[in-house]
Structure 1
């Protein structure tokens, strides 16, 4: 990655992180309700019976209510667990599952760990992002876990990134290691990109 691209990514992420820190609790709660409805509708549209999803942090558009709903509906939900080698393990979400602080301070499930290939069986991947542009290019938070996971899958299912409405932008800085997503879910809408490879 060139120094210019790396610098542009760092600056963009810092700006987005600061904007998220300024959100009121009311705005965060409203976003979680919207994301819950949008993701539920997406699962129904795709007929997904098994999905992967992340546990949102306090400033991300909330996914935890969606996860609870999906588990209650009998949908198998795999939650990511970060590893020090840059790969993700997975754990099956349960109605009363405990959450701990994983690597990088991210919320992660407590439970039996499945290996990185467990995600190959899901019908839909729901992943975090800092921003997504109109071509489906996703800007992550810089650790590469999801780009590496998506790039290594032989038959990748639809992949949707979750962001706030203002984080769907015209263009994000990217390099060859960055992966495009099928679509993006915000608190008010779901967009599927026509040029998506998935």
Structure 2
């Protein structure tokens, strides 16, 4: 059982070491495997009761190396779901806008793509019935390792208790010992091409 790690062995320095290892492993993944996983991930999520009953899903546009969200975003739109995508603000907080298709995306900082439609405000994430977030790994107790910018920790602080919050990962990134800090926000599940693992929060 791999839970979060805090105390002398945790913190920022430990996170950096784990991030470096996981990012190196992601860079080694063959393109064909990444494409196949993106389609498997979409199918796994669409098969869940949480997606079936969700009117609004908060998601994101994947960047290089991350589990691909392109097929998922298309599938959610085809299923009639309202999809909110993040818009990175100057202070690294997240605004949210409705996704209307791939043509509404524009380049942003850090190589991200984000919608160009009107922002709904940082609190809009609280209206989602399911929140899907990026990450590098998750521990068995729900501790999530992100990229270190803190954007999602701030956003998840606005999500009501009881709303499912799932991190999208590759299968081997689930059940990893994750260093934590006091500001870190846990997630309630991890979704991979193999399915969804529901976690304590």
TM-score by length of 1: 0.91
CA distance in 1, matches of 2:77, 2:52: 17
Give the secondary-structure state (helix, strand or coil) at the position aligned to 2:114.
strand
CA distance in 1, matches of 2:46, 2:92: 30
CA distance in 1, matches of 2:154, 2:7: 19
Are 2:70 and 1:64 equivalent residues in the alignment?
A: yes
Going from structure 1 to structure 2, the CA distance change for 1:24 and 1:100 (only over 3 Å counts) comes to same
CA contact (8 A) 1:150 1:156 kept: no
Structure 1 window deviating more from structure 2 (39-48 vs 156-165): it is: 39-48
Are 2:29 and 1:23 equivalent residues in the alignment?
A: yes
1:106 aligns with one of 112, 117, 125 = 112
Going from structure 1 to structure 2, the CA distance change for 1:86 and 1:43 (only over 3 Å counts) comes to farther
CA distance in 2, matches of 1:95, 1:152: 26
CA distance in 1, matches of 2:160, 2:139: 24
Give the secondary-structure state (helix, strand or coil) at the position aligned to 2:87.
strand
Unaligned runs of 5+ in 2: 1-5
Instruction: Identify the residue that residue 6 of structure 1 maps to in structure 2.
Output: 12
- Higher RCO by CA contacts (8 Å cutoff, separation 6 or greater): 2
Aligned pairs for 1:34-73 within 5 A: 34-42=40-48, 47-73=53-79
* TM-fit CA distance, 1:169: 2.7
* TM-fit CA distance, 1:68: 1.1
2:188 aligns with one of 182, 187, 191 = 182
Q: Number of matched residues? A: 195
Going from structure 1 to structure 2, the CA distance change for 1:43 and 1:77 (only over 3 Å counts) comes to farther
Which portions of structure 1, spanning 4 or more consecutive aligned residues, are displaced by more than 6 angstroms? none
Going from structure 1 to structure 2, the CA distance change for 1:96 and 1:161 (only over 3 Å counts) comes to closer
Q: Give the RMSD, CA atoms, in angstroms.
A: 1.9
Give the secondary-structure state (helix, strand or coil) at the position aligned to 2:11.
helix
Are 2:100 and 1:89 equivalent residues in the alignment?
A: no
Aligned pairs for 1:113-124 within 5 A: 113-124=119-130
Aligned pairs for 1:160-175 within 5 A: 160-175=166-181
